Structure formats: structure tokens, C-alpha cells
Chain A
Amino acid sequence: MKPLQPVSASARALYGVSFFVLFVAVWSAATFGGFVPPLFLASPLAMVGEGANLLIHHGFVFDIAVTVWRVVGGFILAAAIALPLGVMMGAYKPIEAFFEPFVSFARYLPASAFIPLLILWAGIGETQKLLVIFIGSFFQLVLMIAVAVGGVRRDLVDAAYTLGASDRSLVTRVLLPNAAPEIAEILRMVLGWAWTYVIVAELIGSSSGIGHMITDSQALLNTGQIIFGIIVIGIIGLISDFLFKAANERLFPWARL
């Protein structure tokens, strides 16, 4: 192997799939071989069986839909406010100086630690779930977007001014399109983090969702269902990641040249 030497597309796919195969193989060996008791870790087959059971008899599709809705809803809410604020902070230094210290502090506040407070304030309904996602992603988004917008090359700014750009159009016609691909990447990444918050929110005080199913299954010592729930989250994450990447490539073809 030579450092940084690229691999072909087919070899890349082969390598990627083979790790999944290896992973399942080790898991099978551990469970079917009797090294781990089924009480602690269900076998892949038991997991698939429990999954089918969940989907067919327990309306798990509804739980999945509820969880997806919560993540997407809370995330869109956070992004809708974080985007304009982040752009303003990136473009205008006094605005950045005003908000940045607080946002930097707030982003280290763990979203999950807010859950008891949020239950107190908003009950255990949907509002509380959305707020957990919001708190978890909003501050991260604001800071990263501000950095992306402010990181424009100075000579592009100079060029725009010598072409007669006003301050306002510098923001709309240079800073924004310049940062757009990076902002899309940031949204993709933070959406991934939002998935971890929703499950935490559903573990406590919830009557639906994937996280709720996982807590229920724990009470029944059904590790097959727990693992199935975790894998479903992984698959949904993979799909949303893929969709985001595809959309970014279509929207910003120039960024990949």
C-alpha cells in the first residue's frame, strides 16, 4: 500500500461491503458458537426475526415515522433560525462579537441534560422532543455556518468590490454562494448528530418512537429488538446522508471541480 494512492470504485465498494460481512460473521460466531448467552446478545437471525415481529405485529413503522418526524422537524426549526443568524455573524463582525461568546458557551451544554428541564417546561409531548433536537443542533449550526461564511477568500471580496458590488450584494452574491457548499456539508453533519439526541429524548418520558421501543425491549430483556432498533437508526442515517450528498452534488457542481 502506498500512502494516498486512490482505489478504484469497484474495489472501494468491495472493501466497504466486506467489513459489513466480517462484522456479521464475528457476531454470528459469538452468538451461534455459544460464546455469548442470548440474554446479553441476540444472534443475527434472532434479530431479524424480532425485527419482522416488530414491523408486522407491533406497528414499528409508526415508531420509525414518529422518530423521523421529530428529527426532521427539530432540525428544520434549528436550521431555519441558525442559517440567517450564522450568515449575519459570519458577515458582520460586531454581530459576531455580540453572539459568538454565548453561542460558544451554549454549544457545550449537553442537550440530553436539558431533558428534565424541558419536560418540566413543555411536558412529555412533541414540543419537548423537538426542543431537545433544537438545542442539540442550533448552537453547533450557528457557529459552523458563521465560520464558513467568514472564511471567504479576501481577494474574492476585493474583486467583487472593484466590480462595483455594494456591501449588501457582497453578502448575497459573494459570501453566501461561496459558503453554500460548506453550509450544506454542515447541515448534513449536524443532522447526523441530531439523530443521537432524538433517541436520548425518546428514552425518557416517551410513548412512541424508536427510542421508546428500545427502552420497552430492555424491560423485556429482548436484545434482538434493541439491536434491530439500533440498526434501523443506522440505516436511516445512511440513507439521509446519501440523499444529502446527492443533493449537494446536484446543487453545487462547481464545488467538486
Chain B
Amino acid sequence: MSKLSIEGVGKLFPARRGAQPTRALTPTSLAIADNDFITILGPSGCGKSTLLRVVAGLETASEGRVLLDGAPVTGPGADRGMVFQSYTLFPWLTIEDNIAFGLRERGAPEAERRDAARRWAERVGLKGFERHYPRQLSGGMQQRTAIARALANDPKILLLDEPFGALDNQTRALMQEMLLGIWERERKTVIFVTHDVEEAIFMASRVVVMTARPGRIKADIAVNLPHPRPYTIKTSADFVALKERLVEEIRAEVVGLAH
């Protein structure tokens, strides 16, 4: 049985000031297996973020439903951790307290919270920064904390909405390796939304390509590259071939949109 099933989920934004209602997402179905790392790849405005927000429960679908372990999603909850593109750490909390936010919400005792915060800070390479405030950290470090904060909550599924989109190329590559490393160890179910082809292939076990607005799934491609994947894999023949194919898929969409 699949961990998460998206069944005919579509999104229609209501009409405003006499304009036509906007369709952001045509009814889409997708089944995601346990421990899978799915990347959703598509051009800007293809509804991939909308789809992710529906899964998170932050947006209600206009039609269709989302099932997590067979139970329908009705709103946001701790079982679906999310990392956003914008920096969403709570600026009034230290890194440690940010990571433990969900645990505290659950009523975990102080010792357990501190323990988990320390452990996760170390796993994402932020040992020694536990007492810092988010604004004292670089963008990459803040996103690492955001990932730690989501994972410390032990969600059933991790949702990431272009989390590395605002980072420079070097930092982004390091973050991809870090996230992939965590996934290889923890075997979480992950949905990762991006518009970067290389990023989509490098981490994924499956790449779902979406069309331009209104969004719809165009291709669903398994990535059978071996694990663990060092960054050097990005220059291997298999990787390059896959990249060419996906670039072509995306290009067709963007070109189609421009004409």
C-alpha cells in the first residue's frame, strides 16, 4: 500500500472582480510509496507548490482528496513536516528551541526536547550554534535548521517546497548532499518540489514532471542511480542522459508557454 495517495486533487482559485476563476492545478493523482524520495519538477507557476500545500493541509483542494496511511488529510498536522522556500524559523527562539518547537507542542519533557534538539543540530552540521538566534545564521544554516525542526518532530512524510531556491550554487549543492545523506540513513518518505533539473535528479528515486499552468503531471520517471550518491555522480553518463531528457520535457513546457 502506498504511504501517500493523491487522488484527483485539483485547485481552482475563485474568480475575483469579474475575472475568470484561475485553475492552478488540473485534477492530479499520484501514489507515493513508503521511504520514497519524490521530486516534483516543473516551471514556475505550474501548481507544484499548490499541490504540496494541499498535501500539507495548508490549502484545501477544490476537488479530490489526499490520503496519508489511508486516512484523509483535513488540515495541517505534525505528521506532515514541511520546509518552506522562505526562511520560516521563529526569530524569537534560539536554534535549539526552534528545532524543539514541535516536541514542545506535543508536551515532551524538557530533557527530551533538549536531547532531540542537540542531536538534530549535530546531524545537520549546526553543532555549536544551538544558542544562536536565526538572524545570526546564514541562509543555508537557517534552512538546515528548518529541516532539523521538521525532522525532529518525526513526521510520517517530509514536504519540501524549493527549500534551497534562495541559496547560492555552492551552498545548494552541499545542502542537497546533506539532505540525501539524512534520507539514506533515516529512510523518510520525502516529497521535494523544485524547478532545478539537476537537483531533482540528484536526490530523487522518482522525478515527477509537471506541465505549465494549469498544472498536470506530464512524466513520471524512476531514477535508478545507485546509493550512496556522491556529488560526482552529477557528471556520470547516466545522470547526464537523464538530465538531457528532463531538460527537454521542461523546455517544451516553457517554450509552449512563451508562444
Could you tell me which A residues sit within 8 Å of B by CB distance? 153, 155-156, 158-166, 169, 173-174, 177-178, 180, 252-255, 257
Contact = CB atoms under 8 A, between A and B. Distances in A.
15 contacts: A155-B84, A158-B84, A158-B88, A159-B146, A160-B90, A161-B77, A162-B56, A163-B101, A163-B105, A166-B105, A169-B105, A173-B105, A180-B92, A254-B135, A257-B91
Interface of B: 56-58, 75-78, 80-82, 84, 86, 88, 90-93, 101-102, 105-106, 133, 135-136, 146, 149-150, 153, 159
A163 B58 contact: no
A162 B81 contact: yes
Contacts of B84: 155, 158-159
Contacts of B81: 162-163
A257 B88 contact: no
Given A164-B77, A164-B153, A257-B135, A159 B88 contact: yes
Contacts of A165: 101, 105
A164 B78 contact: yes
Interface of B is mostly: loop
Given A161-B58, A254-B135, A257-B133, A156 B88 contact: yes
**Closest 6 A-B residue pairs measured CB to CB?**
A164-B78, A161-B76, A257-B135, A163-B102, A159-B88, A162-B82
A43 to B, nearest CB: 51
Contacts of B86: 155
Contacts of A153: 88
A158 B84 CA distance: 9
Given A161-B58, A162-B80, A164-B77, A252 B106 contact: no
A237 to B, nearest CB: 29
A160, A161, A163, A254 — most chain B CB neighbours (10 Å): A163
Nearest to B78: A164
Contacts of A158: 56, 58, 76, 82, 84, 88
Nearest to B136: A257
Max chain A CB contacts within 10 Å: which of B56, B88, B136? B88
Given A158-B76, A162-B159, 14 more contacts: A159-B82, A161-B75, A162-B56, A162-B57, A162-B77, A162-B78, A163-B81, A164-B105, A164-B106, A166-B105, A177-B93, A254-B91, A257-B133, A257-B136
Nearest to A161: B76
A177 B92 contact: yes
Residue in A155, A164, A178, A255 whose Cβ sees the most chain B Cβ within 10 Å: A164
B106 to A, nearest CB: 6
Nearest to B88: A159
Contacts of B76: 158, 161-162
A163 B92 contact: no
Contacts of B75: 161
Contacts of A161: 57-58, 75-77
A105 B106 CA distance: 43
Nearest to B87: A155
A155 B153 contact: no
A174 B105 contact: no
A188 to B, nearest CB: 19
A158 B153 CA distance: 15
B124 to A, nearest CB: 16
Contacts of B150: 162-163
Contacts of A178: 90-92
Contact of B92 (A159, A160, A166, A252): A252
B92 A254 contact: yes
A150 B240 CA distance: 49
A199 B80 CA distance: 58
Nearest to B100: A163
A223 B201 CA distance: 82
